[in-house]
A and B are shown apart, each in its own frame.
Chain A
Amino acid sequence: AQTVTQSQPEMSVQEAETVTLSCTYDTSESNYYLFWYKQPPSRQMILVIRQEAYKQQNATENRFSVNFQKAAKSFSLKISDSQLGDTAMYFCAFMRFNDMRFGAGTRLTVKP
């Protein structure tokens, strides 16, 4: 079974600075999808960014980018120019067909 590990339970960053959240996963498959979801205090799950495993190019979405290292099974999220609204839980997720596995999450606090 696939597993997802987020080794940083909590992180903090100053407003306008850059922060990187770590994620590793374990799978024997070669085709899959990886995601980062944001969960603010409202509890709503919001998709931040997605990476297809067959693509070598790292995904970017505005201030969010990933460093996807397939051989190392690593999928980190970089948030540039951090904003107060980025304060939330961040979950890394692995998906193959209909089986989605989430990590335990990293609580990110952006400080003014």
Chain B
Amino acid sequence: NAGVTQTPKFRILKIGQSMTLQCTQDMNHNYMYWYRQDPGMGLKLIYYSVGAGITDKGEVPNGYNVSRSTTEDFPLRLELAAPSQTSVYFCASRGLDPIQVYEQYFGPGTRLTVT
């Protein structure tokens, strides 16, 4: 099991550019999440999905879009990058196992810089 994988690991964008952060999990988890972590801060929820075709906003969704066409993949789209989106982005997933139902498994993160 690779767990949760994210690509790319690092990226530098110019203001106004677009990009997609990829997230894939191989644990057949229903729930997937995107967080951002600003310097010196905790993680904040951007979007989440409870299954293929179902997504919902988190605490800080503005400037981002998501889609969930398969169980495995949950890409995060930035349409018009702004300096305020400079952050480290984490993807996470969790399953429905009765014992560990609320444990989220995190990917290694993507460090994004917008200049």
Q: Restricting to A54-109, which residues have a CB under 8 Å from any CB of B?
A: 91, 93, 95, 98-105
Interface of B is mostly: strand
Known: A43-B88, A98-B48. A91 touches B43 (CB 8 A): yes
CA distance A100 to B102 in the complex (A): 10
Task: Flag if A50 contacts B108 (CB, 8 Å).
Answer: no
Q: Which 9 A-B pairs have the closest CB atoms?
A: A102-B42, A45-B106, A102-B43, A33-B102, A98-B48, A43-B109, A91-B42, A104-B42, A103-B42
Least distance between B82 CB and chain A CB atoms (Å): 23
Least distance between B91 CB and chain A CB atoms (Å): 11
Size class of the B contact interface (CB-based, 8 Å): 20 to 34
Chain A interface residues (CB < 8 Å from chain B): 1, 4, 33, 35, 42-45, 47, 50, 91, 93, 95, 98-105
Cβ contacts under 8 Å, B56 to chain A:
98
Nearest-CB residue, chain A, relative to B43: A102
CA distance A98 to B106 in the complex (A): 15
CA distance A95 to B108 in the complex (A): 21
